[in-house]
Chains A and B, each alone.
Chain A
Amino acid sequence: MTLAERIASYRATLEEWLRGLYHGMISHPAYEKIEAEAEDLEDEFMLACFPDAFGVPSPVSYYTAELLPYLQDEFEAWERRLWDRSTLVERKGQQYHF
């Protein structure tokens, strides 16, 4: 193995490590955070559409029921999430990696 090849393979490894480090420290938590935020917004949307799922009567659920065929996966996931979610702090705290 020539010196040039050794340097190249060393650099490749280093680059991979750095990318991994960057991914782990910066980009992964970042998009996880954004995704969690998006999820929260989606939850808000679902709650606005189907408050009666939690016992709050809604005069417009007749119309929002029309959306359910397209939202069925989200609906089930959302219902589970909301029943499980104990506090807002717990939910917001999840995104921090200590």
Chain B
Amino acid sequence: MTLLRLPTATAPARPAPRARARRGRADRRPRLLVAVTAVFFVLLYLPIGVVTLFSFNSKKSLTVFGGFSLRWYRAFVHDDVLLASLGTSLRISLVAMAGSVVLGVALALGLVRCRTRLGSLAGLVMLVPLITPEIVTGVASMLLFKGLGVALSTGTVMLAEITFSISYVTVILRSRVAALHPEVEEAAMDLGATRWQALRLVTLPALLPAVLASAVLIFALVFDDFVLAYFTTGVDPQPLSVRIYSAIRFGVQPTINAVGTLMLAGSVALIALALFIPRLFGRRGGLDILSGE
């Protein structure tokens, strides 16, 4: 790296026309790369497009489009089982959002500011869900509830979803907390605030955009989550994604296209909202919320 960097310092100063001609060619847009990227985008959006298109199909086919119709949306609105599942999913998402944001924000604050051995241990525990595949955490949660003799239900899904959402909130909030200057809190304390007041009146308001964005993101993630819900749900109205799973396993059901399209639209709207929230507060928009950087 360091060795390679040396010639660059002199490179712009070199007037050799040949070199400039070469660079001119190098700067040209590489057609092959652009073509690969274009094909990638087509394939990325094709499945989503197909689901959306056939949700408006007047026929019960997944290959022939018979004309525009809303019949599958009507079928969904009259499907009591699917509607009950929708309600379950909404409740789970709301509870998981509230629980994980409260626990996660507190954890992020503590992790950044507390440099003790307990702090580094908590930091490790927090990372576990991020490096464990969902099927493992799903199986583990199910066994825990069974082992404790708790019947699987909507409540157990909520508990499991909170557990795994705490990590996301903490990861998102951690870098924001680290970016805050502790001097500001100290200034507040010099002006007579207690530590708690400084936290409540100075630190938390500064974190508000990130907290709101992470809350929206958690809502979307939990609403769409399938694996964890699948392992921890009971027989009462199952979460929507679990219901969709059993529907697509047993063949084509165009109603699922309508539900799927609505879920796609909902997720995209929520993600857009999460990205937009920091801007509402006059901050640089936040793709970093998605990548955790």
The answer to whether A and B assemble together is no
Query: Which residue numbers of A lie inside 8 Å of B, CB to CB?
Result: none
Q: Which residues of B contact A (CB under 8 A)?
A: none
